[in-house]
Structure 1
């Protein structure tokens, strides 16, 4: 059974989920802190479950040749080298919804903390002071909350703020007008949000586009007295610029749960009278820790046991219900792609995948990725179903999908159309009796199953060819298992596709190519 390595502290219930699903589990909650030990322990792992302490770097991933999935119990995957995982064909999953409510509640709590100076007043009162007039706060009622990012967490913050009778303005390029109406927020651009908001809270991932989204320039566009909350990711706020704005009084207060460098044991904002800091507590509730641990265990087990993919960052999702329906078509897409790829001898310019019939109604993204990977694998090292779209894009290969509801002669077909520097070749397949079959090659109809060893021959349709081919293979000790023929027109070009019992060696190929009327001969393996 697949082996799961858990290298960070995880709920005992989550560990038991793996065991109950029949997986081999190694639970070493402190392993992630010892990289040398991690490199040794991960060598035979099929899955790696982590929180934030383990750094799944490129060398860690390279040390795990069997690794198929990394599961992060939480949202952020800053501690996982996503590019290295993708290149290695490792699916990376997170649990984006398990701690959403907890993080949203922490943002609201931080907003109240800086609105009423609760931490400062608490510290003063504990010291025996009674500085009632020193801590003049502000109401949140009727104020405008500016949301930068209105996804899962941001939308929860919006609902809580609306319940407090605040006005909510949201900046999010992916927020549709209809969704904004549904949430009860006003969709605005960033400059308008900065100019209008009394409180600004950030709920976006850290990317090249969002890094320092609250920069010195952006903070300069805010209204005087604005209050800033960041419970999302360090690096979204220019911390030096924020300190400058706080010192000048332009920003009234800030609440930070995350920092550009963590753990943050020293920071220019520590000790600032108008700053509230917490040590990345956004997901730190009993409920959230349990939820994300259980979710990551279920997701990883589902993938390893059934092929279901949930909350993956580098693969399209496949539900548990979809997985068994997709499985035969994944095999078909891989076989067709391998067939086309092994016959391709020049650079690929474009790949079109045509789905017809019932397969067109399925989740096609995994099928497309499987086909692309199989086409490119004979030409490029390291191609897999996870990284295939990226590799194709890097090489300028155009990928298109075409869908039609009716398939000619069959319930469902997948056709690959591969355009190279010299020609365009098509190959079509279907599922019959649960087995992938090829039913068309270059416009020529035929029917054949895929076998471990095969011989593909194109020839002129002339008398004597079949006998000559059989004799040649017999002379070289090659036994024919199946012999499938197809032709365009009588006397024109024909195709022979043979399954044989042993490998077709180069000397056998040379003998086949020497047969009269043969145009091309190629050994295939599946």
Structure 2
């Protein structure tokens, strides 16, 4: 029997035809996504569900989807899909992470030009019957310095377009390698240097704890007078109130915003200010982009339903159903190993070596590699998945190598990840016990045996008395319960580590108190998707 797909949002007829050409039965009901009760009534009949943003795939919808195997989102964002519920039900969630890149990059360039020449205000003035040539004195972009914050997929396209406009392009991105920067023809700088030198600043980073308000009042004050700021990435990257004040004071000459901290943006401190161009999140709103993501999701869903091939999955590795049964815990382990190092590394990664020992070497090594890379890159790019991770790693100039070997120790197999930057080398190893639970077995060459929890605390220090007491007393004083406490050292008096599995996130003031003791070289909170 042919697979059956429901398309509950507006997709192009060309995309619908992709399903039909592949022999898949498709019901195109573009308004059904707005009728949750009707969706609940019919969803059990389908193997696949293709959506945009209107359909809300909640836990109760997934519960009723007794035959559903795959959800395909034509676009990047999947806020309208309950991914944990889908994972628990065994439903794959796919998106199309690269279909909007060029369109979003072009919108940023359009904003740069509009702000440079005050196009929207000049248009409104002229159509109102005025002729205010002297009022709208713009600036050329040629020979100006374009500062790109975030030089990943979209940021690198903006950088290339900026160079085409004969701009001097500088880029701040902790994960941008020098090799990749050289290839793009951009100058790699730190954030303070970019703020001080850029005539135009454009943001192309995801919204994370580290990037939220990256252009704070403090950082906006570091910019050169007359700077123009563009945000077509995510709301919340810029302190809108602080930017508004800087525009009113004359320090910032203009801004172009496509995204806002609160959307839909019916009110913003930026509204009504001179030379501020605002658009309603149009970054992906072109005919070509909408067509591209629709075609891509139709092809991906067809490939999976007909051949079992998994692409751009957010909750499943690129492995067959048979492999997944055996590899599941090992893929989880590989992701944890990558995430451990990724959360500790805030500088460009140059090399990643993955050693697969024993039974791990006999598995689908590509899937394990992808899991490591996804874990490694996720702290800086929350949207990364096991399919997009290798592409992003290549774009960032990260060299990845994998070595396999027969079982060489007391474990039936293990995975070891070594990451090199210009400044240091980090390594961690882990295995899966017979109970199916991943464990860390070595960090920095120091042997340990550590259970992995959602919230952990990692410390490094010289091996000396008082460490255990300080950690225990400090945690206890602040009400942090320790579920598991693992210690290790290289030798007496040498390097030592501690790994604590705790019941909740360790607050910043607790971390700072530990750092102030002077006993620790590193105090780092860690989070794992267990």
What TM-score range do you get, normalising by the shorter chain?
A: 0.5 to 0.7
Contact persistence 2:75–2:293 (CA under 8 A): yes
Q: CA 1:85–1:172 in 2, change beyond 3 Å: closer, same or farther?
A: farther
Asked if 1:419 is matched to 2:419, the reply is no
Deviation at 1:57, TM superposition (A): 3.5
What is residue 146 of structure 1 aligned with on the other side? 147
Matches within 5 A, 1:253-332: 253-317=254-318, 329-330=323-324
Q: What is the TM-score when the length of structure 2 is the normalising length?
A: 0.62
Deviation at 1:130, TM superposition (A): 0.8
What is residue 209 of structure 1 aligned with on the other side? 210
Deviation at 1:356, TM superposition (A): 7.5
Asked if 1:176 is matched to 2:174, the reply is no
**One of 345, 352, 363 as aligned partner of 2:366:** 363
What is residue 245 of structure 2 aligned with on the other side? 244
SS in 1 for 2:256: strand
Deviation at 1:367, TM superposition (A): 11
User: 1:252 and 1:336 mapped to 2: Cα distance?
Assistant: 53
What is residue 26 of structure 2 aligned with on the other side? 25
Structure 2: tracts of 5 or more residues without a match: 332-355, 373-385, 387-401, 416-430, 439-530
User: 2:267 and 2:303 mapped to 1: Cα distance?
Assistant: 42
Q: CA 1:125–1:174 in 2, change beyond 3 Å: closer, same or farther?
A: same
Deviation at 1:150, TM superposition (A): 1.1
What is residue 462 of structure 1 aligned with on the other side? none
Residue-pair matches, total: 367
Q: Once the two structures are superposed, what CA deviation does each residue of 1:253-300 show, in whole Å capped at 9, x if it has no partner?
A: 111112223232343423222211112221222111111100011011
What is residue 96 of structure 2 aligned with on the other side? 95
Contact persistence 2:317–2:371 (CA under 8 A): no
User: 2:328 and 2:93 mapped to 1: Cα distance?
Assistant: 22
User: 1:58 and 1:138 mapped to 2: Cα distance?
Assistant: 52
Matches within 5 A, 1:226-241: 226-241=227-242
SS in 2 for 1:147: strand
Q: Once the two structures are superposed, what CA deviation does each residue of 1:207-228 show, in whole Å capped at 9, x if it has no partner?
A: 3332222222222222222111
Contact persistence 1:354–1:403 (CA under 8 A): no
What is residue 163 of structure 1 aligned with on the other side? 164
User: 1:291 and 1:301 mapped to 2: Cα distance?
Assistant: 15
What is residue 447 of structure 1 aligned with on the other side? none
Q: Once the two structures are superposed, what CA deviation does each residue of 1:192-211 show, in whole Å capped at 9, x if it has no partner?
A: 22222111111122233322
Superposition CA RMSD, Å: 3.5
Deviation at 1:115, TM superposition (A): 0.3
SS in 1 for 2:433: strand
What is residue 56 of structure 1 aligned with on the other side? 57
Q: CA 1:336–1:221 in 2, change beyond 3 Å: closer, same or farther?
A: closer
User: 1:61 and 1:366 mapped to 2: Cα distance?
Assistant: 30
Contact persistence 2:235–2:260 (CA under 8 A): yes
Deviation at 1:75, TM superposition (A): 2.2
Asked if 1:37 is matched to 2:38, the reply is yes
What is residue 5 of structure 1 aligned with on the other side? 6
Deviation at 1:143, TM superposition (A): 1.2
Q: CA 1:39–1:172 in 2, change beyond 3 Å: closer, same or farther?
A: farther
User: 2:329 and 2:232 mapped to 1: Cα distance?
Assistant: 47
User: 2:248 and 2:87 mapped to 1: Cα distance?
Assistant: 44
Deviation at 1:165, TM superposition (A): 1.3
Deviation at 1:30, TM superposition (A): 2.1
User: 1:335 and 1:109 mapped to 2: Cα distance?
Assistant: 47
Q: CA 1:253–1:368 in 2, change beyond 3 Å: closer, same or farther?
A: closer
SS in 1 for 2:71: strand
User: 2:7 and 2:154 mapped to 1: Cα distance?
Assistant: 27
Q: CA 1:80–1:129 in 2, change beyond 3 Å: closer, same or farther?
A: same
SS in 2 for 1:260: coil
User: 2:330 and 2:189 mapped to 1: Cα distance?
Assistant: 48
Q: Once the two structures are superposed, what CA deviation does each residue of 1:430-474 show, in whole Å capped at 9, x if it has no partner?
A: xxxxxxxxxxxxxxxxxxxxxxxxxxxxxxxxxxxxxxxxxxxxx
Matches within 5 A, 1:495-510: none
User: 1:306 and 1:247 mapped to 2: Cα distance?
Assistant: 59
Q: CA 1:192–1:54 in 2, change beyond 3 Å: closer, same or farther?
A: farther
SS in 1 for 2:65: coil
Deviation at 1:403, TM superposition (A): 5.5
User: 2:123 and 2:174 mapped to 1: Cα distance?
Assistant: 40
Q: CA 1:37–1:250 in 2, change beyond 3 Å: closer, same or farther?
A: farther
